[in-house]
């Protein structure tokens, strides 16, 4: 045939940015962001931080500027440098573990619509907070 072959598939799948913050007391905050920009992250982070807070983040450069603008201490952990703990106390492994558990829980749905990510996050948080109930109890109550 004298034509180019047809490309199949949808191409590159866009990732949806999700802001998740955990503190030492176990409080969790999450929000699905429009875009992964410094302004969007700062808008979500600012109400959660107070004077004297320490912000512990991954290697994203946006957090540097946010910490400077909010005048708070910032501990940056860069995974490529094999850096897991700073000063013997600051780490993001709790957040990484939370994300791992959420992604594992989400796999059972074989993909979800981006419009419903906020609902799935809330559902997962509710399930995590109420671990005393079994899956059968949740199904029975739902029906």
Domain positions in the chain: 18-129
Q: What is the pLDDT of residues 42-69, one digit of tens each?
A: 999 889 988 888 888 887 888 888 888 8
Could you give the CA distance from residue 20 to residue 44 in angstroms, rounded to a whole number? 9
Question: Chain centroid to CA 63: how far?
Answer: 14
84-88, 90-94, 122-126: range with highest mean pLDDT: 122-126
Fold for domain 18-129?
Answer: Nucleotidyltransferase; domain 5 (3.30.420)
The pLDDT assigned to 96 comes to 85
Q: How far apart are CA 34 and CA 26, in angstroms?
A: 26
Return the HEC string of 120-132. HHHHHHHHHHCCC
pLDDT, position 64: 87
**C-alpha distances out from residue 8 to 40, 88, 135, Å:** 34, 50, 39
Q: What percent helix, strand, coil does the chain show, rounded to 5?
A: 45, 15, 40
- Which residue in 4, 31, 36, 43 sits closest to 17, CA to CA? 36
Reported as a single tens digit per residue, the pLDDT across 12-40 is: 777 889 999 988 888 889 999 998 888 99
pLDDT for the residue numbered 101: 92
pLDDT at 135 over 80: no
């Amino acid at each position: 045939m004298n034509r180019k072959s047809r490309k199949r598939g949808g191409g590159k799948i866009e990732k949806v940015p999700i802001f998740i913050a955990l503190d030492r007391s176990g409080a969790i905050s999450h929000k699905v962001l429009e875009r992964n920009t410094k302004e969007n992250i700062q808008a979500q982070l600012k109400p959660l931080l107070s004077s004297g807070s320490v912000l512990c983040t991954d290697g994203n450069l946006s957090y540097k500027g946010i910490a400077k603008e909010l005048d708070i201490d910032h501990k940056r952990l860069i995974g490529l440098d094999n850096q897991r703990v700073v000063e013997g106390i600051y780490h993001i492994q709790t957040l990484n573990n939370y994300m791992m558990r959420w992604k594992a829980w989400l796999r059972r749905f074989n993909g979800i619509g981006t419009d419903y990510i906020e609902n799935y996050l809330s559902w997962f948080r509710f399930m995590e907070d109420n671990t005393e109930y079994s899956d059968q109890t949740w199904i029975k109550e739902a029906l």
